[in-house]
């Protein structure tokens, strides 16, 4: 039986049809202008599926399937009854989950963290998301918000973050933070410049790696995990951050041991695959 997973992003929405653990089909479309239009898109994709899982970039109430605080996709999502509305349109059960938890579950069951029990997850994109798995289960929290590593303070008094705080990991290791440190372009262009030897670009990624090392090192000390999976669009430049990242982790080695830094294995569809795993009727 097929389960549909949908990963609603700020700009693009990805979907994956999962049969057992096999990805049968997937795709990417621009995110529609609001929640109602997104539900109609989801319903149009939900032909001959037994259930649906939908991942949202924000806080959700998993019990009621309601969006609580979802600021980035277009339209007014807060309070929108996602599961009720999509069930009404499709007639099949619907589960709603946070997108970082979906990413983590996909990588834990089918990707880079397969077989591991205690793992941190960091998703480097426009924002920096995160999740925690302990004893083989991804932890959730009351608003499905447990594990938001992007908003650990790595530099008190540092750049202002969208969350209201200053000096969060996200302000250094998210795409816009890297671009700001360099001065212009996109994160991918800054990575190209760094690989071509541009000193400012190299520095921007060193700073991102340092910030990531501080946050991952502290989180590993707090949680006692031995591995971290790093994914998201900006993680393609993980090689440019490694030196500074490992220097921070090495400083904490007596406390955290050798934290294994694993690149995510499932690529851009991880969130949609994870949403489908949460959409399974048993899960």
**Residue whose C-alpha is closest to residue 210's, from 240, 243, 245:** 245
The mark string for 127-156 relative to Zn ion (x by CB under 5 A, - otherwise) is ------------------------x-----
| Residues within window 25-84 making contact with Zn ion, judged by CB under 5 A | none
Write down the least CB distance from residue 159 to Zn ion, Å. 10
163 vs 247, which CB is nearer to Zn ion? 163
Nearer to Zn ion, 194 or 211 (CB): 211
Q: Which single residue is written with the structure tokens 């089909």?
A: 25
- Smallest distance from the beta carbon of 170 to Zn ion, in angstroms? 5
Phi first, then psi, for residue 97 (nearest 5°) are: -145, 155
Q: Which is nearer to Zn ion, 163 or 222 (CB)?
A: 163
Hey, which residues between 154 and 193 contact Zn ion (CB under 5 A)? 161, 163, 165, 168
| CA pair distance 22, 4, nearest whole angstrom | 12
- Min dist CB 197 to Zn ion, Å, is 32
With respect to Zn ion, which residue has the nearer C-beta, 96 or 131? Answer: 131
Q: Which among 26, 21, 27, 225 is positioned nearest to 109, based on CA atoms?
A: 21
Burial per residue of 20-33, b for 16 or more beta-carbon CB atoms within 10 angstroms, e otherwise: eeebeebeeeebbe
Footprint on residues 9-28 left by Zn ion (CB under 5 A): none
Contacts by 247-254 with C-beta closer than 8 Å and gap 24+? 247/210, 247/213, 248/209, 248/210, 248/212, 248/213, 248/214, 248/216, 248/217, 249/213, 249/216, 249/217, 249/220, 251/217, 252/217, 252/220, 252/221
Nearer to Zn ion, 164 or 254 (CB): 164
Residue closer to Zn ion by CB (options 139, 155) is 155
DSSP letter at 150 equals: G
Residue 238: enclosing H or E segment and its boundaries? helix 238-251
CB of 217 to Zn ion, least distance (A): 18
CB of 148 to Zn ion, least distance (A): 8
**C-beta of 126: minimal distance to Zn ion in Å?**
13
Binding site for Zn ion (CB under 5 A): 151, 161, 163, 165, 168
């Amino acid at each position: 039986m097929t389960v549909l997973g949908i990963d609603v992003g700020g700009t693009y929405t990805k979907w994956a049809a999962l049969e057992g653990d096999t990805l049968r089909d997937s795709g990417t479309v621009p995110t529609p202008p609001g929640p109602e239009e997104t539900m109609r898109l989801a319903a149009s994709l939900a032909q001959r599926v037994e259930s649906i899982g939908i991942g949202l970039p924000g806080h959700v109430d998993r019990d009621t399937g309601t969006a609580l605080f979802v600021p980035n996709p277009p339209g007014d999502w807060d309070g929108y009854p996602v599961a009720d509305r999509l069930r009404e349109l499709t007639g099949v059960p619907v589960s709603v989950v946070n997108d970082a938890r979906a990413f983590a579950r996909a990588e834990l069951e089918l990707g880079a963290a397969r077989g591991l029990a205690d793992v941190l997850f960091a998703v480097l994109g426009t924002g920096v998301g995160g999740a925690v798995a302990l004893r083989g289960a991804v932890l959730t929290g009351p608003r499905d918000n447990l594990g938001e590593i992007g908003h650990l303070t790595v530099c008190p008094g540092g750049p202002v973050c969208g969350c209201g705080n200053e000096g969060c990991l996200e302000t250094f290791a998210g795409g816009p933070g890297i671009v700001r440190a360099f001065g212009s372009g996109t994160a991918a262009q800054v990575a190209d410049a760094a690989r071509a030897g541009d000193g400012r670009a190299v520095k921007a990624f060193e700073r991102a790696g340092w910030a990531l090392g501080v946050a991952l090192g502290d989180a590993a000390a707090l949680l006692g995990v031995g591995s971290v999976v790093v994914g998201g669009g900006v993680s393609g430049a993980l090689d440019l951050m490694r030196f500074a990242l490992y220097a921070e982790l090495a400083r904490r080695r007596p406390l955290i041991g050798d934290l294994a830094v694993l690149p995510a294995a499932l690529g851009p569809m991880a969130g949609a695959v994870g949403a489908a795993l949460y959409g399974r009727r048993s899960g």
